[in-house]
Chains A and B, each alone.
Chain A
Amino acid sequence: RKEVEQDPGPFNVPEGATVAFNCTYSNSASQSFFWYRQDCRKEPKLLMSVYSSGNEDGRFTAQLNRASQYISLLIRDSKLSDSATYLCPGDFTGGGNKLTFGTGTQLKVEL
């Protein structure tokens, strides 16, 4: 089983919709998690770190459920510019040494 698993999608949603992605992980030694977005043929860009208490940044909300070993990302009021692949790497070694990625979830926001 992969350490980090994501539904590859694509998730096709209309503009203005609310969409949520989950990301499950199998390594119980999880330390830190992040959400990155990656546009086609570009580098991953940090969207937000994921804290145990959950955190929100504008239209984006991230949650971490350690007991069930998943993290989630909620996007409200989707914009066309939100179309991208969303990656949820975990750092299972501790100390920020190594990020382990899943395959990413593709989001397409349509008019």
Chain B
Amino acid sequence: DAGVTQSPTHLIKTRGQQVTLRCSPKSGHDTVSWYQQALGQGPQFIFQYYEEEERQRGNFPDRFSGHQFPNYSSELNVNALLLGDSALYLCASSHTTGEQRDTQYFGPGTRLTVL
């Protein structure tokens, strides 16, 4: 049973560039949440996707956008990269029943470095 997978594992970009990170949820899961974790901090919620729609969003600017595909996989896009966007980007998947999301399971993350 495959867990949550993310690609790429590492990425180096320069300021102003754009980046796309990818996530495939755990088998049987239909909901994907994205988090940003800066060094020495806990993860911060970016947004959550269910049924191909953004359901909830954290305090992140519009430079952060996402998408969910019919197979439940998801992408996180960040435009106009800033040095402060350097972080570990974590994807978490869960299963939704009605209005209730089950426990979230995290993927290994993508480590983004912005130079």
Contacts and interface: CB of A to CB of B under 8 A. Distances in A.
Interface stretch (A39-47, A58-66, A69-77): A39-47
Interface size class of A (residues with CB under 8 A): 20 to 34
Contacts of B100: 95-96
Nearest to B111: A41
A53 to B, nearest CB: 18
The secondary structure that dominates the B interface is strand
Given A44-B106, A45-B106, A96-B94, A101 B101 contact: no
Contact of A95 (B42, B43, B92, B99): B99
Enumerate the 3 nearest inter-chain pairs by beta-carbon distance, A residue then B residue, closest first: A96-B101, A101-B42, A43-B106
Interface of B: 33, 35, 40-45, 48, 55-56, 58, 88, 90, 92, 94, 96, 99-109, 111
